[in-house]
Amino acid sequence: MKQLYKTYGESTEIFKELEKKYPKYFKMKSIGKTWEKRDINLLIISKDIKTHEERPALFYTGTIHAREWVGHELAIEFANYILNNLDHDPAIQNYIENATIYMVPCANPDGFEYSQKHFSFWRKNRRQNADGSYGVDLNRNFPIGYVKSTATTSNVYGGPEPFSEPETRALRDFVEAHENISIALDYHSQGNVFFPAHDFRHEDTIDTTDMNTLCANMAEEIRKISDREYGIHQGKPPTKLISGSGREFYYSKGIISTVVEVGTRNISDYLDDMNEHVREHIPALLHAVKEVPNYDRKNGLSRIKSFEITEIGSNHANLVWEYEQNNDIFFEIYRSTKNKSFCNASNLVARTQSLEFSDINLNSNKDYYYNIRAVNKKTNIKSPFYPQIILRTDPEYDEFSRTYYATSKGTGYVAENYTNNKKHFGVNSLFVGVDLNKGVSYAIVTMSFNTLPSNAQIKHASFHLYPINRVSTTIEKYGEWNVGIVNQETMGDITNFDDVDNMEILQYVGRPTSSDKLTQGIWRTWEFSGKECETLQKVAANNKVVFRIEGPKDLIIGRTRQMMQWDIGYGKFGYGLPYRPRLELTYTLKPTISTIYPKAVYTVTKDEVINNEITAGFDADGNKIYSTFEFNISSLPPYDETIITNAYFELNSTKIYIKDDIRFHLEFVDENIDKDYEKIKNRDVIHNIGYDVSATELKNNQTQYFTFDSYAGITLNEKLEDKSDISFVLSPTSSKKAIKDKSISWEMKNQSLSPKLIIEHIPKRRKPLPQVTNANLTLENGKIKLTWTNPIHDDLKGVKVIKNAYREPYSTHDGQKLYAGMDEYTFDDFGALDVDKYFAIFTYDEVPNYSKPIIIKYEAK
């Protein structure tokens, strides 16, 4: 295996050859010497080596960690790929026209050599420390967030001071001398994940969306090649921020910067895996090169100035933004259904010069993510992205929405070889899979359903888990992870391995997740099918649901584990409550059926008005005969708390004795009928209810239902608000010209056959509750504290607080959630005090209808 990997000496020779072959496009130079006097090679790829500094540039670094050989190997392959294809590939020509590529294939040549020759798992450089030990972790030796330590033998020892090492000084000097660098990629192994830079504050930065999108677009290029999904993870909040790394140093210089963790092992099997890593990362790297001009620090196109939501419905959303007037500029809008998604042609929903966009045909009660950038149509340069908008569409008129979170006590993992599995519950992450020491392990997730009404009918459900770490866990390419609904009647003790192992699974949920789709930092979702919703519906009667998550149960020879780690949100290992396992539900209620009989019925002919009789057709002179029906709907419950979900009108015909081509239709007249023949005849049609019915059809079926369509349904709901009377007219039509003396009568006397209006309705609040009052912001023990007063109302279910650094949140999902519940205060835990931000406080009822937010702006101290 190792023979196939190039040594540092070999790559130097390869680059010298390339230099000879492509002198115009390629150059290698030394940017410094290591402790052991090796040259630190820098490669330049440019359309013209003489003018490389005139174009914005990508800065690639590899193998700063000695044992992470992929960076070195990929750099060799990428340089070869570009140079060998430049001549005939117009896309590459175009990229190189606009961008320069700088690569340091190996930022730690001494360590790399040591790792190849002596000790595979060597990570640091080869400095001789004062105590005789060797090595500094170069990726802890940069100044941003640098942590001083005396633990020289540690694998993450950061050196005596920032830039104490010649390798990091060489990188610093090069980057500081090249302000044309706009994107920096630092290649490591392993984890199949991107780690974008951060500024050590737990707030999104103006370019968080840019870094996430760059990574997501690179990830999508990888997925196209190998179907493998990469995670994207900024490593927050609030734990495990890496100190003193190169990535944060480059970022501090205004460079979009990310670490790329490749593969599933430090040194992967060359033929099996390394080849595939190269194949999948070359298109990803090309994408990064393509983006380089868009992040040019000097001549880039400016970002739009604001990006806001103005309206959200159950099926649409309206967005607006601002930009300086410029006819060369248009805007690209991208819509995704998951966070940290790519933005490419497949999810581009608008190209427009307008400053607003209305998105329609959305699904109800679903999360959408919108991204926007400006494009100069002359230069094709694109601006950075404005911070992403997140919104959730409203539930449909008959829908309710619920989010259920895992309970602390009922959530944990059980391992085959552990005796005290109880202690994992509510504390530790969910380890699922198999491990040499732990044996097989399962996770149990329990959710309380006690706020779900007993007559709820689940329409959609999805189960969500947050994968927190797959760097320290090891995932090879095999096996699948499944979520099952447990039969609670027979489940036994959820903290006992044997009981969990023997659980009866009523139904597995959604599609299994295969090992190459376990993406750290991106929520994994299992969508329920209709059948699975039925099972969930059944267990909901227990007021709780228990899920078992299981992974592979066998180890490959030579491997010690195949294990995934999901967050539970609780305990010191968790990322906080927003990262709890959760279940999103959309449900409706079984409707109440109200039957309403008419308060008045008339037959209206040209000559007379006949009470309590229903006839329609044509009289002896060929004039139409109408029937009218008046109803009073005041017996229905109040408008504010009721939604009519369905309505239909039932009529039963008496004996049929005509064969002629006569059809009948029922009109909904939203007013009381004036029983005047001419007025009825000349009246405008308001709404036809359902389809018209022919005399022939009546022969076969005495009972006729005229069903309200959605427009008529809306009108009926409006009538409920007024509690006014509503009326209907039954009228005949015929394609024949002169029909005379033909009519049909309908049952009136027998109540079961008499005309009736059947209305299905559910109790549902229509309007949001009042807003909170007395909203206030104070500082308490170095934290921002928000306080407010809840409105006093029986239907209040809680208050939701979110924050957003870039806009006043209009949607309850457009920002970081700080709190939801009945308290009247919350803290901005881990929040920074030195950035401006908006807090939004919404009240909600059980639908939930959210109030318009109360916004409090925090001004940086």
Find the shortest distance in angstroms from Cβ 108 to Zn ion.
10
Specify the residue, 65 or 402, whose C-beta has the smaller distance to Zn ion. Answer: 65
* Residue 285 CB, nearest approach to Zn ion (Å): 18
* DSSP run (H or E) holding 719: helix 710-722
| Residue number with CB closer to Zn ion (65 or 687) | 65
Summarize as ranges the residues that interact with Zn ion (CB under 5 A).
Answer: 65, 68, 188
Q: Which one, 108 or 804, has the nearer CB to Zn ion?
A: 108
Q: Which residue stretches of 337-424 are H helix?
A: none
Q: What H or E segment, with its residue span, contains residue 711?
A: helix 710-722
Q: Which is nearer to Zn ion, 188 or 303 (CB)?
A: 188
Nearer to Zn ion, 281 or 742 (CB): 281
Give helix 208-226 / helix 275-291 axis angle, nearest 10°. Answer: 140
Contacts of 205 (CB under 8 A, 6+ apart): 198, 199
Q: Which of 217, 242, 247 is nearest to 232 (CA)?
A: 217
The answer to whether 101 and 80 are in contact (CB under 8 A) is no
Compare residues 263 and 293 and give the one whose CB is closer to Zn ion: 263
Rounded CA-CA distance 583/586 in Å is 10
Q: Least separation, in Å, of the C-beta of 265 and Zn ion?
A: 12
Which residue lies nearer to Zn ion by CB, 245 or 843? 245
Rounded distance, CA 225 to CA 70, Å?
Answer: 18
In which residue are the tokens 């699948």 written? 480
**Phi, psi angle pair for 132, to nearest 5°:** 90, -15
Q: In terms of CB distance, is 121 or 478 closer to Zn ion?
A: 121
CA pseudo-torsion sign 731, 735, 741, 747:
negative
For residue 222, the number of C-alpha atoms closer than 13 Å in the C-beta half-sphere is: 28
In the complex, minimum distance from the CB of residue 67 to Zn ion, in angstroms, rounded to a whole number: 8
Closer residue to Zn ion in complex, CB, 124/517 = 124
Q: How far is the CB of 71 from Zn ion (least distance, A)?
A: 9
C-alpha–C-alpha distance, residues 765 and 398, integer Å: 11
CB of 65 to Zn ion, least distance (A): 4
Q: What span, in angstroms and rounded, lies between the C-alpha atoms of 566 and 513?
A: 13
Distance in Å, CB of 426 to Zn ion, minimum: 33
Which is closer to Zn ion, CB of 68 or CB of 296? 68
CA distance 803 to 817: 7
Residues 656, 697 contacting (CB under 8 angstroms): no
Cβ at position 814, least distance to Zn ion in Å: 35
Residue 187, both tokens? 């290649």
What would the two tokens of residue 646 be? 């369905």
Residue 163 backbone class (left: φ over 0; alpha: ψ -120 to 50; beta: rest): left
**Residue 31 Cβ vs Zn ion, minimum distance, rounded to whole Å:** 20
What is the SS3 assignment for 406? strand
Q: Is 557 left (phi over 0), alpha (psi -120 to 50) or beta?
A: beta
Residues 63 and 71: their CA atoms lie apart, in Å, by 5
Spatial separation of the C-alpha atoms in residues 483 and 771, rounded to whole Å: 39
By C-beta, is 64 or 772 nearer to Zn ion? 64
Nearest residue (CB) to Zn ion, 65 versus 172: 65
* Least separation in angstroms between CB 245 and Zn ion: 9
Two structure tokens written together for 402:
């619920």
What does the longest C-alpha to C-alpha distance in the chain come to?
Answer: 119
The least distance separating Zn ion from the CB of residue 139, rounded to whole angstroms, comes to 6
Q: Smallest distance from the beta carbon of 123 to Zn ion, in angstroms?
A: 7
Least distance between Zn ion and beta carbon 68 (Å): 5
Nearer to Zn ion, 191 or 387 (CB): 191
Query: Which is nearer to Zn ion, 8 or 81 (by Cβ)?
Result: 8
CB closer to Zn ion, 107 vs 759: 107
Question: Which residue's C-beta sits nearest to Zn ion?
Answer: 188
Of 68 and 210, which CB lies nearer to Zn ion in the complex structure? 68
Min dist. Cβ of residue 261 to Zn ion (A): 7
Q: Nearest distance from residue 257's CB to Zn ion, in Å?
A: 15
Task: Judge contact between 67 and 266, C-beta under 8 A.
Answer: yes
Residue 861 makes CB contacts below 8 A (sequence gap 6+) with 779, 833, 834
Minimum Å gap between C-beta 471 and Zn ion is 9
Q: How far apart are CA 410 and CA 156, in angstroms?
A: 37
Angle at 690 between CA 689 and CA 695, to 5 degrees: 105
We find the least distance from the C-beta atom of residue 179 to Zn ion, in angstroms, to be: 27
Smallest distance from the beta carbon of 64 to Zn ion, in angstroms? 7
3-state secondary structure of 733: strand
Helix (H, G, I), strand (E, B) or coil at 419: coil
Nearest residue (CB) to Zn ion, 6 versus 188: 188
What percent of the residues of the chain are helix, what percent strand, and what percent coil, each to the nearest 5? 20, 35, 45
Q: Which residue has the tokens 């677009």?
A: 217
Host H or E run for residue 41: strand 39-45
Neighbour-count burial of 542, counting CB atoms closer than 10 A to its CB (0-12 exposed, 13-18 middle, 19+ buried): exposed
Cα–Cα distance, 677 to 674 (Å, whole number): 9
Alpha-carbon distances, residue 15 vs 44, 55, 109 (angstroms):
10, 22, 15
The number of angstroms, rounded, from the C-alpha of 620 to the middle of its chain's C-alpha atoms is: 68
Pick the closer one to Zn ion by CB: 63 or 565. 63
User: Any idea what the Cα angle at residue 28 is, between residues 22 and 30, rounded to 5°?
Assistant: 170
- Please give the helix or strand (H or E) that residue 776 lies within, else none: strand 773-780
Distance between CA atoms of residues 217 and 56, nearest Å: 20
